[in-house]
Amino acid sequence: MFRILSLMLCLSSPVLADVEGTVRVVDGDTLDVSGQRVRLHGIDAPETEQTCEDAQGRVWPCGAFVREEVARRYQGQRATCREVEQDRYGRSVAKCFVDGRDIGEALVSDGWARAYREYSMDYDLAEKTAQVLGLGLWASSMQEPSAYRADQRVPTPDTAAPDANCIIKGNISGSGRIYHMPHNRDYANTRINEASGERWFCSEAEARAAGWRAARN
């Protein structure tokens, strides 16, 4: 009986897997490692579109800067990622190491990411040290990334669908005609300007038939 219960528990739990390979940086706390999307465990970096305010009150693009800093350090490097869990979308959440150094710990220690205490206390001390020393983003004023994301989800006239059954966003950009589903990374930040030809769709089939292609993220 004990063996049967153990087997059932194993089958009902997600199988954690490690991944190793070349890094492509997606944003300040998300990597592609050998083509697999990995969210760094226990840290939260500013969103790419997020801004900060320096000691002189000047606004600067801290989110884009952090992404570039992470890319400068790790793009093209070989990483080993040890999966801690999977998020609700089935994506890997892992601790990743380059040359034996924990990427998440390095970013928090240098002040370029926050310890994500809602999910882990692993980097609590590293963050407190960076804050005391005024390193990285601690030299500026920054809204917590989680609070920033929550603010972006508040509907505005150009982000709220006019029809509750037609919530797919058909956006036109330099990349062409792309439609965004609610689970896509840039959905919340995508604005629809119908005067320029952008539109809402009720289904993916409708979007594809009109000449739009699916967002990749």
| Arch. (CATH architecture) of 11-146 | Beta Barrel (2.40)
Q: Would you list the domain boundaries of the chain?
A: 11-146, 153-214
Residue 29 is predicted with a pLDDT of: 97
Q: Which of 47, 69, 83, 127 is catalytic?
A: 47
pTM above 0.75, yes or no: no
Q: Which of 24, 73, 78, 91 is catalytic?
A: 91
Residue 39 is a catalytic residue = yes
Residue 77 is predicted with a pLDDT of: 97
Q: Are the C-beta atoms of residues 144 and 43 closer than 8 Å to each other?
A: no
Residue 9 is predicted with a pLDDT of: 46
Residue 16 is predicted with a pLDDT of: 65
Residue 158 is predicted with a pLDDT of: 61
Residue 190 is predicted with a pLDDT of: 86
Residue 91 is a catalytic residue = yes
Torsion of CA 119, 65, 106, 146, to 10 degrees: -10
Residue 184 is predicted with a pLDDT of: 85
What SS3 string covers 118-176? Answer: CCCCCCHHHHHHHHHHCCHHHHCECCCHHHHHHHHCCCCCCCCCCCCCCCEEEEEECCE
Q: How many angstroms separate the CA atoms of 143 and 85, rounded? A: 27
Q: Which of 39, 67, 114, 199 is catalytic?
A: 39
The residue whose two tokens read 């840039």 is: 186
Residue 12 is predicted with a pLDDT of: 47
Residue 88 is a catalytic residue = no
Residue 33 is predicted with a pLDDT of: 96
- Going residue by residue through the chain, which has 217 residues, state the pLDDT in tens, using 9 for 90 and above: 555 545 454 444 455 679 999 999 999 999 999 999 999 999 999 999 999 999 999 999 999 999 999 999 999 999 999 999 988 767 799 999 999 999 999 999 999 999 999 999 999 999 999 999 999 999 999 999 998 888 777 655 566 677 888 999 999 987 789 999 988 888 887 888 888 889 999 999 999 999 999 988 7
Residue 151 is predicted with a pLDDT of: 78
